[in-house]
Chain A
Amino acid sequence: MRMASVPLVGLWFGFLALPISGPRGALGIGIACAVCILIVKILQAALKAGPIAERAARLQASVTRGWEHSEEIIRNKKFAPIFLLCLLLLPWMLDQYSTDVLVVTGIYVMLALGLNVVVGFAGLLDLGYVAFYAVGAYTYALLNAWIGLSFWPSLVAGGALSMVFGILLGIPVLRLRGDYLAIVTLGFGEIIRLVLNNWDNLTNGPNGILITGRPFIGTQKLYQPMHFFYLVVVLCFITMFIVGRLNRSRLGRAWAALREDETAAECMGINITYTKLTAFAFGATWAGVAGVVFAAKQTFVSPESFNFFESVIILCMVVLGGMGSIPGVILGALVLTVLPEALRDLTLYRPMILGGSMVLMMVLRPQGFIKISGQRLSVDEARLHESASEEGGA
């Protein structure tokens, strides 16, 4: 774009704004756009040459290095006990409100880890993931209301029923890829929400269902944020463990192959139907479990908790954190729940800052916070290096 085109751009934006803001507003917007572009152009020119450019390059290099360094620390097993200790002590150092935020974070970590199976591992874009979350929450609420089923059996029932729903969604979309799959899953998510909203006899419609009674561990009633914090931490670790092991196995390799090239995967002996359905099933299960925990924490469920925006946020956590990377996805969930809380004082600008930081992130680091690393193997990688060096020696 040449300098001469700057007034033209201003004119164009002014023209676009004309019907909305009237002639005076349009003039202002046009001039503002032109000035902004001019400033950007000048900055670009300044950055291209001279010491500023050098300094910017150096800054970028050091940021990348720092990032990689912190990645190493996250991966280093030596630091794991320290992390764990800090994590377990957190609720003692924070007030109730902050602990409650952490509980919500934990629920989102489970959701993001579950969606990561579908989107990150198997590459199936699911825009209706929140439906399984709703299935879990309503399973608990309804079973509790009908037969007084307590929390723990509901946790299993919620996970299992969500798994069934995952397979039910999976069957009709087996043949769909990419955009088409995304649209169907989007529809599925909305269908579940609308059914919950309108089937008054079953779900009490928009008024929701109140859950009487609290979960117990032994004789200890779980009702404080701190209790739920420990519950959620344990469940997150179980999720991480299972999802991580699934990924580093024959099934995980099949998911990855499916994501890379479905046709080639099928020609290598992978049963596409089974592989896709297991991805949907395992993804949905964790959403169901998270839903039961959410319902228990809130003691109330209503359809408005399960709108499309929730699906989008969970997807953002996966993409921002790094598709397919378990530590990445956890970090993504952490950032996207804690950041809005931290920005609470700037309510007005919150969506803008969030949106802006997402755009920036995708431009600067499209692979997400943390990249996938390591081999999808159940056995130790060290063997590979041994055999390679043997070969080199021989």
Chain B
Amino acid sequence: MSGVRLLECAGLTKRFDGVVALNSLDFEVNKGEILGMIGPNGAGKTTAFNVITGMFPPTGGDVRLGGESIVGLKPDAVVRCGITRTFQNIRLFRGMSVLENVLVGRHSKLKTGPIGAVLRTSGVLEEERAAVDFALGLMRFAGIVPHPTARAGALSYGDQRRLEIARALASEPRLILLDEPAAGMNPREKSELNELILAIRERGVTVLLIEHDMKVVMGISDRIVVIDHGEKIAQGAPADVRRDPMVLEAYLGASYA
């Protein structure tokens, strides 16, 4: 599948003191696709996410979104450019309600400042009402059943994962980065997650997906990028990647390749 480039990572390198987490990583995400990113533990997948979202700056290389470099931007600025993410170890605002979590995700689309908050002009109230409706719609979209005022920390594991996705979608991103969304889910929840990820693409959001569960990642990805030791070792359609000798070696050892 070749389309319009949405995200391009070129020569992306990240060193932590002596450890090379990313070593001149090149890959691109096309507009409207679901790109799976796989690799053994410690391959640098989450580091790639952290660098793309601005959580820490790369040692070298470039990240371009729609042709413009986003390297050096702070995470909140990257969100405003149109990239959001979920976290491998769920990081919800546990003490806040489900609704508040989604509304925080919508933060960058809202404008109310301190003065507006105190005066509560009709414009501010209109914005809040629209934001609440949008958030409730997203909760329905993600299949979150509990009441909007329920405490996020009290949700079931699957609901917490879904809430993270809803929260990330609230900023209406162009690209969403999902970091192991299926981790810890049972088979039924996994198939629901598959449906959800496909539906996210239907909304016009491009998906970059880190996933260890091969059924999930092979089933829904248009293309797959395989990373090992911070380098790209293969990319292509799921069926081709599965047979790639480099991939087999990385996962199973040289004797199987």
Chain A positions near chain B (C-beta within 8 angstroms): 241-242, 245-246, 248-254, 256-257, 259-261, 263-272, 278, 282, 375-379, 381, 383-384, 387-388, 391
In the complex, are the beta carbons of B103 and A270 less than 8 A apart? no
- Which residues does chain A contribute within 8 Å of B108, judged by CB atoms? 268-270
Question: Given A268-B84, A375-B100, A378-B124, 11 more contacts at CB 8 Å?
Answer: A242-B118, A250-B107, A257-B93, A261-B92, A266-B76, A267-B53, A267-B84, A269-B76, A269-B171, A375-B99, A381-B149
Contact with A along B138-170 (1 / 0, CB 8 A): 001000000111000000000000000001100
- Which residues does chain B contribute within 8 Å of A268, judged by CB atoms? 76, 79, 84, 104-105, 107-108, 167-168, 171
Interface magnitude class on chain B: 35 or more
Can you list 7 A-B contacts (CB < 8 A)?
A250-B110, A265-B93, A266-B55, A268-B76, A269-B84, A378-B112, A381-B149
Bound form: Cα–Cα A253–B108 in Å: 12
Q: A267-B84, A268-B171 are in contact. Are A260 and B117 (CB under 8 A)?
A: no
In the complex, are the beta carbons of B125 and A266 less than 8 A apart? no
In the complex, are the beta carbons of A260 and B85 less than 8 A apart? no
Contact with A along B92-126 (1 / 0, CB 8 A): 11111101100111011010111011101000110
Q: B15 an interface residue at 8 Å Cβ cutoff? A: no
In the complex, are the beta carbons of B95 and A245 less than 8 A apart? no
Q: Which of B22-30, B128-136, B232-240, B249-257 contacts A (4 or more CB under 8 A)?
A: B128-136
In the complex, are the beta carbons of B91 and A246 less than 8 A apart? no
In the complex, are the beta carbons of A260 and B125 less than 8 A apart? no
Q: B80 an interface residue at 8 Å Cβ cutoff? A: yes
Q: A260-B94, A272-B76 are in contact. Are A267 and B114 (CB under 8 A)?
A: no
In the complex, are the beta carbons of B97 and A249 less than 8 A apart? no
In the complex, are the beta carbons of B114 and A246 less than 8 A apart? yes
- Which residues does chain B contribute within 8 Å of A264, judged by CB atoms? 87, 91-93
Interface of A: prevailing SS: helix
Which of B79, B107, B132, B171 is in CB contact (< 8 Å) with A383? B132
Q: B203 an interface residue at 8 Å Cβ cutoff? A: no
- Which residues does chain A contribute within 8 Å of B136, judged by CB atoms? 384, 387
- Which residues does chain B contribute within 8 Å of A375, judged by CB atoms? 97, 99-100, 149
Q: How far is the CB of A337 from chain B (nearest CB, A)?
A: 27
Which of B55, B93, B95, B147 is in CB contact (< 8 Å) with A388? B147
In the complex, are the beta carbons of A253 and B118 less than 8 A apart? no
In the complex, are the beta carbons of A245 and B118 less than 8 A apart? yes
Q: Which of A252, A264, A266, A387 has the most CB of B within 10 A?
A: A264
Q: A263-B55, A264-B87 are in contact. Are A270 and B76 (CB under 8 A)?
A: yes
Q: B74 an interface residue at 8 Å Cβ cutoff? A: yes
In the complex, are the beta carbons of A377 and B95 less than 8 A apart? no
Bound form: Cα–Cα A252–B149 in Å: 16
Q: A375-B100, A377-B128, A383-B132 are in contact. Are A246 and B118 (CB under 8 A)?
A: yes
Bound form: Cα–Cα A270–B104 in Å: 8
Q: B60 an interface residue at 8 Å Cβ cutoff? A: no
- Which residues does chain A contribute within 8 Å of B120, judged by CB atoms? 245, 378
- Which residues does chain A contribute within 8 Å of B147, judged by CB atoms? 384, 388
Bound form: Cα–Cα A282–B116 in Å: 15
The 8 closest A-B pairs by CB, nearest first: A269-B108, A249-B117, A269-B79, A260-B93, A264-B91, A378-B128, A266-B75, A257-B104
Q: How far is the CB of B63 from chain A (nearest CB, A)?
A: 15
Bound form: Cα–Cα A261–B167 in Å: 14
In the complex, are the beta carbons of B132 and A267 less than 8 A apart? no
Bound form: Cα–Cα A249–B80 in Å: 20
In the complex, are the beta carbons of A251 and B128 less than 8 A apart? no
Bound form: Cα–Cα A270–B101 in Å: 12
Bound form: Cα–Cα A267–B91 in Å: 10
Bound form: Cα–Cα A241–B104 in Å: 23
Bound form: Cα–Cα A242–B114 in Å: 9
- Which residues does chain A contribute within 8 Å of B85, judged by CB atoms? 267
- Which residues does chain A contribute within 8 Å of B112, judged by CB atoms? 249-251, 378
- Which residues does chain A contribute within 8 Å of B110, judged by CB atoms? 250
Bound form: Cα–Cα A250–B149 in Å: 16
